[in-house]
Amino acid sequence: MRTYVVVGLGQFGEHVARRLSEAGGEVLAVDLSLERVEAIKDAVVQAVRADCTSEEAMKALGVGKAETAVIALGEEDFEAAVLGTSVLKGLGVKTVVARSSNRQRGKILALAGATRVVYPEAEMGDQLARLLLHTSMQSSTELPNGYALAELRVPEHAAGKSLQELRLRQTHGLNVIAIQHRGVVNEPIPEAMLGVGDVLLVAGRGERVAALARLWDPGR
């Protein structure tokens, strides 16, 4: 069983802690607010009111045994996030993921020992913009090295054709991972006929995914 420490139980941190726990992870949730600790205690293995900047307190909780720590503190607690990152890394946590709202502060968190810095507000904004720009796109996730994973609705002009006929790999450099037909997800069979409203899960370079989304947008 994987072990996690989640520090900061605001909306973001609480959501992360609950999801990790639901997925079978062993989660220690930490916050200075007793109210937040009480709200999540039944959803995780342990929820504790403690100061993440105190090496003594974190050591007493055994956080060094965790595989991964998430510093989910808000911007108003940036100093505590930096110190907490340093403390947890110093206690032996291999992977420390820290939340930030801007790149400048992200660099400081990285210098403090964060293995990875995430920017949830910026990432959600980027995703929403992509969905608004491309109405054929139901969801989009950026992957490392410029790749992306997206769900694209099949337009009318592609309906009645098979994946083999569309030749998305040859013409767009995209791989179809799965097909959703009437709510059921299936493996991508080359000969399967596509219908209007079917959804393709495609993967490839981000710019190629965006190009196909533009091509498939209604009215284009």
pLDDT of residue 134: 63
Each domain of the chain, given as residue ranges in start order, spans 3-118, 123-216
Q: According to CATH, what is the number of the domain 123-216? A: 3.30.70.1450
The secondary structure element, H or E, covering residue 83 is helix 78-90
Amino acid at 137: M
Residue for token digits 């209007």? 196
Report pTM.
0.68
Class of domain 3-118: alpha beta
Q: Percent of the chain at pLDDT above 70?
A: 94
Mapping DSSP onto H, E and C, the string for 142-199 reads: ECHHHEEEEEEECCHHHCCCEHHHHCHHHHHCCEEEEEEECCEEECCCCCCECCCCCE
Cα–Cα dist 64/89, whole Å: 8
Residue range 36-86, pLDDT digits in tens = 999 999 999 999 999 999 999 999 999 999 999 999 998 899 999 999 999
Cα–Cα dist 163/173, whole Å: 13
